[in-house]
Structure 1
């Protein structure tokens, strides 16, 4: 998809931090943005190696993953189909998916729970169809996310990322271990009951003391917000010029600030936050602002 990527590390000025930097994966591409490109990179390589011509994946109506998969398929000369959770709707995200040529199959929530069965029901006789789990979760995705660490030219005391499935966090921890870095990885699950992410990480790499899960920053659950979080987004973006999405990155940066207030990290520590993109998620929350 890309011969080279653009993902600089930028230092930002935000009180009270003296050494807060951001890995700008959100700048990689407008549509295959952030960790979506990282995850899809090796998934598409495997699909091509297996002579697959149709990508089949899953997501909600405002899924950045669906847009990214649709765009990646179009650029790679592949077909794409998505099972969309819930009733039939129209929105900006699904419009982009359709423009990129993705077929959308709206699926009731009960059927959606069994994704492999959905795939079998529709594509069992299609040898060219390739299953991609929701959010791109897979071993191949962790390989791509691990490369984030290999691109760093400085060392940090703390590295932060938001987490939904735990795939990006897994890759980051693998990268830290492979590079033998001293940094502590702080993972901020964005949904209730995020402790399962430790189990997901353990499927692919060894968990050690360098991993910290912070389970209290979900703000009510996945894609949930509060007036406090919205106020934080406005304050942060107004002071730094850096856009955040309410689903992932805003909760991560809020956690960074709160952990400093609680004394768990220090304002003089060297901190790197991974901006995983997903900014189109703002479209689904315009009424919150």
Structure 2
């Protein structure tokens, strides 16, 4: 059981050659975490690693976690449970609904409990897990999105994967990492792995009040003395929401979580066609669009070399594809 804790599959690192990059003299390589596994995809495999090791040490027979009807986290967790033979239970936001993700969760054998919206908001209460631990003592609780320190420590491996492939690009080094942020867990893991060597820039797919900065600080605080500030990359903008010597957060939410518009969808379609890399509109496309805006505004210096993380999430775009097909 819990064999998902085996070594991480490799994610290819490849150059992107968009016109706006070449015009500005900026080099960009994308780490294709979407290709590590067809179901336990993107950053989810990395975020689950230490949580599942903890579940195994605790002698659990499975895991319980939280998410919505399109949750990439629950999708990966349920797929891992089916593949490696452990029980999974999902505490669901809102009321019962049928989406491609929910149908997969059920097919993978995940037990679902719909909490409503008020019940889901109570997940931050100090006693939230008491009832569920009493009801399911054989299941190990995993934070929403695979977050927390264990999730971040697993994501630290992402940096090592990228660095091991720099020679294939004829790069000696890079200036910063750029990625979409939902909870900030993956960014925190990258900051830990970088240990001040390179800046990490998070394009927030959620508005500032969702607590991303607070989550990141909670993870990084015990390691503050070991995270020597790096020299800041040439990234200048009034849109920076938070900045330290190790990371920056910029707004990519376009007005709210899961908010999309025609400009974003057109951008995604164009860049998918040009690169043959599939994106999705909630995270990766938003992060790439904000990066283009920064490059075109002259906020990133000529000669800068960036690593862009494709954090996966492609299963979640199926609902958008279905909605587009109906229009």
2:20 paired residue number: 16
Residues 165-198 of structure 1 show CA distances to partners (whole Å, capped at 9, x for unaligned) of 1100100111111xx52x2211111111258322
Residues 106-163 of structure 1 show CA distances to partners (whole Å, capped at 9, x for unaligned) of 1210011122655432431533221111111121111111111122133211210110
* CA displacement at 1:63 relative to structure 2: 0.6
2:263 paired residue number: 228
The one of 293, 299, 304 equivalent to 1:269 is: 304
Higher helix share: 2
The alignment's C-alpha RMSD in Å is: 1.8
Distance 1:126 1:59 in 2: 18
2:215 paired residue number: 200
2:10 paired residue number: 6
* CA displacement at 1:91 relative to structure 2: 1.7
The one of 134, 139, 156 equivalent to 1:146 is: 156
Distance 2:7 2:191 in 1: 26
In structure 2, the residue corresponding to 1:6 is in which secondary structure?
Answer: coil
Once the two structures are superposed, the pairs formed by residues 1-289 of structure 1 within 5 Å of their partners are 1=4, 2-18=6-22, 19-115=27-123, 117=127, 119-151=129-161, 152-153=163-164, 154=166, 155-177=173-195, 181=197, 183-193=198-208, 196-205=211-220, 206=224, 208-215=244-251, 217-266=252-301, 268-286=303-321, 287-288=323-324
Distance 1:59 1:221 in 2: 17
2:235 paired residue number: none
Any stretches of 5+ residues in structure 1 without a counterpart?
none
What is the TM-score when the length of structure 1 is the normalising length?
0.93
Q: Is the 8 A contact 2:148 2:219 kept in 1?
A: no
Any stretches of 5+ residues in structure 2 without a counterpart?
167-172, 228-243
Q: Is the 8 A contact 1:246 1:281 kept in 2?
A: no
Distance 2:301 2:209 in 1: 25
Q: Is the 8 A contact 2:8 2:46 kept in 1?
A: no
Distance 1:32 1:4 in 2: 11
* CA displacement at 1:281 relative to structure 2: 1.5
Distance 1:209 1:288 in 2: 42
What is the TM-score when the length of structure 2 is the normalising length?
0.82
